[in-house]
Structure 1
Amino acid sequence: MSVYNIGPLLLKEIDGLAREKFLEKEVLLPIFELAFTKVYAKHYGLKNDIRVSINPETGDMCLKRHRLIAQEITCPFRQIHFQELPLTSQGEIINGEWVEPLPLLELSRSDVASVLKVLQHETQEMERKVQYEEFKSRVGEMVSVTVKRLEGRNVIVDLGRAEGMILRRELLKWENYSINDRLKAYIYAVRREPHGPQIFLSRTHSGFLHELFVREVDEIAQGLIEIKGIARDPGSRAKVAVFAYNFTSKGRNFSPVGTCVGIRGNRVKAIQEELKGEQIDVVLWSQETPEFIVNALSSVEVLKVVVEKGTNQYTVVVPDGQKNLAIGREGQNVSLVCKLTGSNINIMSASEEQQKRSADLQERMGLFIQRLDLDEFLAHFLVLQGFESLQDIASTPQEELMQLEGFTLEIAQELRERVLEALEEEEKNYKDKFIKNKGDPQVLALCSPYMLDALVANGILTLKDFSQLSLDELEGYLTGVRHGMTSQDLGDLIMQARALCAPDSDSTIVQKE
């Protein structure tokens, strides 16, 4: 067939390829134009700008040569001087280019093979690009797939237009599949590869459990209930935190937890069957972390939750005999609660907590008795009033001390004087210790005495060592001894140290007392 009558055949090929590859005709048309362009460029010379266009209605091809109209010619094959424009009706000026039609040459068998090769390559590239964009938008979706083949311990599944991979670690414990088995999985990542998109699926991802709840619990799909967090030990146990901002639906009150569990636990049981018996605890989410922790430890009676000052550490006190239940086998239960609430949790029995409180009381009393030369009664009284350190007393105004039961002006003044003397001696000891360990005098001038003790404990003795610290590292070293210094203050100290380490530095030191 002549290339001048190839239009209907081209349209037929484009339509067939579009259906086969699930691509749009508008996407394939430029690929066909590129394939013929490359072949005709060889005939007319690769130095020329040869372009083929195909009429989308008739399929007829049109071959043209493009040259840029310019005043200075650097490439006569792709440029033409405006004074040399041929005075003929066969060419025309389009967007600053001289465009001339060229005759379509008949194609040899090698030319046809070249066209087919370009079509195959470009179509594959386009197909891979479309697949990547499609599955990239489907990350976070649960799909039903069929096992296509096994590669080692990994499972290759059929996704219709592409293949996906489930790594062994993304399968539940003891799960084994054979070819043609059906299963559900969660698309968690799509990676672009030379031979097509690599699509990764999982059955252990927390998103998989989330999607199972969305599919099983209508109220979650409708937005009445929100899943706030999920913590999983895949195949063994999981905790799901749920919440509803409005506990009323269709004129009746409902429990988010009870709704997710279902009547006689039927909804959770359906999810557990899909997860091969994984135990699922549905708990009520709370914005208040202590309350959230209590809810997450739903199977245990919580006597109280103690929040450690300035940290994300919580001590949970449970009745004697329930500590092991709260911790769980191999620490699984408390580990999931930590992950779900984003907290560090220490489980303590009531008797252990009583012993700890008694020990802390004796330790603080001993501190006041030894450092302030107080009698046991007064030391015990101060501890009961909430004073935990010498700094607590020093930072308390004298007027507030006088309001304590039995305190007079003389007692308050005497107590503050003893505290200030003890703190002054303590600061002197810290400085002497830093000097004794051959600490840098510039660091000594830069930091407070309490900071110096922490730096010695962590081997930070030179200005260079101090300047190389990150803010997070310094804050970690100074836990409990910052005494009012903000993160901005600590960051400024690090920057001062770095300025002093710089060549020809004339920076001055602001000493922290």
Structure 2
Amino acid sequence: MNMDLMPVLEYFEREKEIPRERLLSVVQETILSAAKKAVGPARQLRVEIHPKTGDIRAFARLIVVQRVVSKHDQISLAEAQRIKPDVQIGEELEVEVTPANFGRIAAQLAKQHILQNIRRIEKEIMYAEFKDRVGDIVSGTVRRFERSDVILDLGKCQAVLPNKERVPTEEYQIGDHIRAYVKRVELGPQGPEIILSRSDERFVMKLFEYEVSEIRDHTVEIKGIAREPGFRTKLAVHSRDEKVDPVGACVGLRGQRVKNIVRELNNERVDIIRWSPDIRVFVSNALAPAKIKSIEVDEARKRVKVITTEDQLSLAIGKRGQNARLTAKLTGWEVDIEAEVTVVKGFEEKVAEAVEALAAIPGITREQADVLVHHGLTRLEDLLQAEESDLQEIPELADQAAAILEAARAEAQRRTIPLGQDALPKQS
């Protein structure tokens, strides 16, 4: 029995939380190497450590022969029969080949090996534990800073929040408790490294998954996300159940669900948008609350041209173009936003249009229309309100006044414009 090894195994199992099976596996590797030196090149040599007593024994699989030629590979029939009476020549038999005092020597080697490699063992265990946690959110305490990187204590191990994975608007102090997204676990020359992120878009998606039960059970699906960390996030959601409002589910009762997420993101703005397969509807939803006049779609170039009124342009584009950028990233389409062009007509253009309108009335020539407009009678309604004497005062139209007014009344009847008493020319 070897009791020297057991206190070492118990210490590391208790204090370092390293499973005994893992420790025994490491010890066996060391002892096997020692056994090969002590026993020699025995065939299929293996060592066995009793998990409770710490007894160490070595075994080899030897071939039963009538006469031994190689003691490392063979065992005589007579000796083999003392172990297994019915053994036959040519059969393989596992035989204990533990050298004298081997257990004590091997235990010393094993203890040294464990002490020398405990950090490596801890890192291997850490890697095994965290390699399947990529994509999860973990909590940790800020322990120190290495340049601009933040080192977090996760309890059993440490992780790094690189500067490029930090949110630019956030500052941390030693002792702060923060949550982060496990972006990747790398097995480097110094052992495994757990790389965390708070700026990754998937961090926000995972927060919604934790907070919104409809996302966890796949009733509500996140169709897309676009984020500028620390400032604004747009999240497109879709419901597979017509009875479930995807936006309402994410917002929660009195907005509590999204408030919890915004609090975790240190008041980063979060827009929850209803996804649509119609790009016009999707873009319009993404640009809300800006009001859109029209959207032109270029399918071939995956480009949309959004037209808004002048007062809605800055709202649609957003501060420093942020709303437009996030909309483009969220939809996967290039988004051009322009204000509606309002054409202000000049005086001459208005006069020409008025002349054309009056000249279109049967019975009124372009020359007559031009004279009428330049004397302030620009519309049919103006002619219907005029008296014959008013037109007779215009030298160019004096003898044409009655005919012009008759043409105007006929046109009014054709357009079914009701005429009041004051619209009729007075009788002289």
Please give the TM-score of this superposition, normalised by the length of structure 1: 0.58
Considering Cα pairs closer than 8 Å and 6+ residues apart, tell me whether 1 or 2 has the greater RCO.
2
Give 2:268's aligned residue.
Answer: 278
| Residues 1:342 and 2:332 aligned together | yes
Q: Which range moved further: 42-51 or 148-157?
A: 42-51
User: In 2, Cα distance between the equivalents of 1:297 and 1:279?
Assistant: 14
3-state SS in 1 of match to 2:341: helix
| Root mean square deviation, CA, Å | 3.3
Output one character per residue of 1:448-503: Cα deviation in whole Å (capped at 9) or x when no partner: xxxxxxxxxxxxxxxxxxxxxxxxxxxxxxxxxxxxxxxxxxxxxxxxxxxxxxxx
| Residues 1:306 and 2:303 aligned together | no
Give 2:287's aligned residue.
Answer: 297
Equivalent of 1:114 in 109, 124, 130: 109
User: In 1, Cα distance between the equivalents of 2:189 and 2:168?
Assistant: 32
Equivalent of 1:158 in 148, 153, 163: 153
Aligned AA (2:78) = L
Give 2:391's aligned residue.
Answer: none
3-state SS in 2 of match to 1:246: coil
Question: Does the CA-based 8 Å contact 2:39-2:98 persist in structure 1?
Answer: no
Distance 1:59 1:309, change over 3 A: closer
Give 1:63's aligned residue.
Answer: 58
1:170-185 aligned at under 5 Å gives the runs: 170-185=165-180
Distance 1:221 1:123, change over 3 A: same
Give 1:203's aligned residue.
Answer: 198
Give 1:406's aligned residue.
Answer: none
Distance 1:244 1:309, change over 3 A: closer
User: In 2, Cα distance between the equivalents of 1:172 and 1:309?
Assistant: 36
User: In 1, Cα distance between the equivalents of 2:163 and 2:22?
Assistant: 38
3-state SS in 2 of match to 1:197: strand
User: In 1, Cα distance between the equivalents of 2:159 and 2:310?
Assistant: 51
User: In 2, Cα distance between the equivalents of 1:268 and 1:214?
Assistant: 11
| Residues 1:42 and 2:27 aligned together | no
Q: Aligned-pair distance for 1:145?
A: 0.8
Output one character per residue of 1:12-34: Cα deviation in whole Å (capped at 9) or x when no partner: 54444333343433333333322
Equivalent of 2:310 in 293, 304, 320: 320
Q: Aligned-pair distance for 1:346?
A: 1.3
User: In 2, Cα distance between the equivalents of 1:276 and 1:320?
Assistant: 33
Distance 1:319 1:40, change over 3 A: same
1:79-118 aligned at under 5 Å gives the runs: 79-80=73-74, 85=76, 87-89=78-80, 97=92, 99-106=94-101, 113-118=108-113
Distance 1:156 1:97, change over 3 A: farther
Equivalent of 2:323 in 309, 333, 336: 333
**Unmatched 5+ residue regions in structure 1?**
249-253, 354-513
Instruction: Give identity over the alignment, percent.
Output: 33
Output one character per residue of 1:343-383: Cα deviation in whole Å (capped at 9) or x when no partner: 11111222289xxxxxxxxxxxxxxxxxxxxxxxxxxxxxx
Give 1:168's aligned residue.
Answer: 163
Give 2:143's aligned residue.
Answer: 148
Aligned AA (1:285) = W
User: In 1, Cα distance between the equivalents of 2:122 and 2:293?
Assistant: 61
Aligned AA (1:295) = N
Give 1:260's aligned residue.
Answer: 250
Aligned AA (2:306) = V
Give 2:134's aligned residue.
Answer: 139
Give 1:452's aligned residue.
Answer: none
Q: Which range moved further: 91-100 or 58-67?
A: 91-100
Aligned AA (2:315) = L
Question: Does the CA-based 8 Å contact 2:57-2:103 persist in structure 1?
Answer: no
Aligned AA (1:102) = V
User: In 2, Cα distance between the equivalents of 1:261 and 1:100?
Assistant: 70
1:208-227 aligned at under 5 Å gives the runs: 208-227=203-222
| Residues 1:231 and 2:226 aligned together | yes
Aligned AA (1:240) = L
Distance 1:210 1:51, change over 3 A: same
User: In 2, Cα distance between the equivalents of 1:342 and 1:108?
Assistant: 68
User: In 2, Cα distance between the equivalents of 1:267 and 1:101?
Assistant: 66
**Unmatched 5+ residue regions in structure 2?**
344-428
Question: Does the CA-based 8 Å contact 2:41-2:72 persist in structure 1?
Answer: no
Q: Aligned-pair distance for 1:9?
A: 5.6
Question: Does the CA-based 8 Å contact 1:230-1:340 persist in structure 2?
Answer: yes
Aligned AA (1:319) = T
Distance 1:174 1:310, change over 3 A: closer
Question: Does the CA-based 8 Å contact 2:27-2:114 persist in structure 1?
Answer: yes
Q: Aligned-pair distance for 1:46?
A: 6.0
Output one character per residue of 1:393-436: Cα deviation in whole Å (capped at 9) or x when no partner: xxxxxxxxxxxxxxxxxxxxxxxxxxxxxxxxxxxxxxxxxxxx
Aligned AA (1:159) = L
Output one character per residue of 1:18-53: Cα deviation in whole Å (capped at 9) or x when no partner: 333434333333333222222233333468764321
Aligned AA (1:143) = V
Give 1:30's aligned residue.
Answer: 25
User: In 1, Cα distance between the equivalents of 2:202 and 2:258?
Assistant: 16
Distance 1:86 1:123, change over 3 A: farther
User: In 2, Cα distance between the equivalents of 1:273 and 1:168?
Assistant: 22
Question: Does the CA-based 8 Å contact 1:315-1:345 persist in structure 2?
Answer: yes
3-state SS in 1 of match to 2:248: helix
Q: Aligned-pair distance for 1:263?
A: 4.6
User: In 1, Cα distance between the equivalents of 2:20 and 2:175?
Assistant: 33
Distance 1:103 1:206, change over 3 A: closer
Question: Does the CA-based 8 Å contact 1:301-1:318 persist in structure 2?
Answer: yes
Q: How many residues align?
A: 337
1:349-360 aligned at under 5 Å gives the runs: 349-351=339-341
Equivalent of 1:128 in 123, 127, 140: 123
| Residues 1:188 and 2:178 aligned together | no
Question: Does the CA-based 8 Å contact 2:5-2:111 persist in structure 1?
Answer: no
Q: Aligned-pair distance for 1:113?
A: 4.5
User: In 2, Cα distance between the equivalents of 1:179 and 1:55?
Assistant: 45
Distance 1:275 1:44, change over 3 A: same
Structure 1 runs of 4+ aligned residues shifted over 6 Å read 91-96
Question: Does the CA-based 8 Å contact 1:49-1:78 persist in structure 2?
Answer: no
Question: Does the CA-based 8 Å contact 1:32-1:119 persist in structure 2?
Answer: yes
